Amino acid sequence: MKGIVFNTLEQVVVAHYGETAWENLLDAAGSSGVYTSLGTYPDDEMMRLVTAASEALDMPPAEVVRWFGRQAIPRFAQRYPDFFTTHESTRTFVLDLNAIIHPEVRKIYTGAQCPTFDFREADDGALLIGYRSPRQLCALAHGFIEGTADYYREQVEVEHLMCMHRGDEHCLMRMTTH
């Protein structure tokens, strides 16, 4: 996993719970805490940080990940404003993931393993988002979508119709904008 994710996690944790909280998390996870955005670090290390946070906050790991995703977006928007300013809604932003955003991510972070999305429109106009990734971080995607909705000041609801964590072959989320 790319260092940018660890760095952002650090920023989010420090912002909400202070420096000490992050130090505690690192201690609990047995991590050095030396991350640069461009480096690649073991996925397992992120899992350990998530687990430590889950225990410290008494929150299921998926919830931690989702919360992190939501909080990460404002930081991404600050760091990479062009991706956000060219859109006016969560929906168009999400639809551009495969075509624009992930290719751009790969331009900077060589070897980044971005998930693959597929999109379909439901009969009622809701967006059906298929998610495939060996990391099974659908909760992160969920959090990102919520964070993006916050950015565009929209109300969205994301429902996991299918989930790899429930034994499905891939995840399917249903996004409704209110």
- Chain residues binding other proteins by CB under 8 A are 4, 7, 19, 36-38, 79, 99, 103-104, 106-110
> What burial class does residue 41 get, using C-beta atoms within 10 Å of its C-beta: 0-12 exposed, 13-18 middle, 19+ buried?
middle
Give dist(CA 89, CA 92) in Å, integer: 6
Which CB, 30 or 103, lies closer to other proteins?
Answer: 103
Q: What is the DSSP letter of 165?
A: G
Give dist(CA 84, CA 97) in Å, integer: 11
Which CB, 2 or 142, lies closer to other proteins?
Answer: 2
Shortest Å, Cβ 6 to other proteins: 12
Shortest Å, Cβ 75 to other proteins: 10
| 99 Cβ contact list (under 8 Å, min separation 6) | none
Shortest Å, Cβ 36 to other proteins: 6
Which CB, 19 or 55, lies closer to other proteins?
Answer: 19
Shortest Å, Cβ 62 to other proteins: 28
Q: State the sign of the Cα–Cα–Cα–Cα dihedral 158, 16, 60, 117.
A: positive
Shortest Å, Cβ 74 to other proteins: 15
**Per-residue tokens: 52:** 């430590």
Which CB, 58 or 110, lies closer to other proteins?
Answer: 110
Which CB, 84 or 164, lies closer to other proteins?
Answer: 84
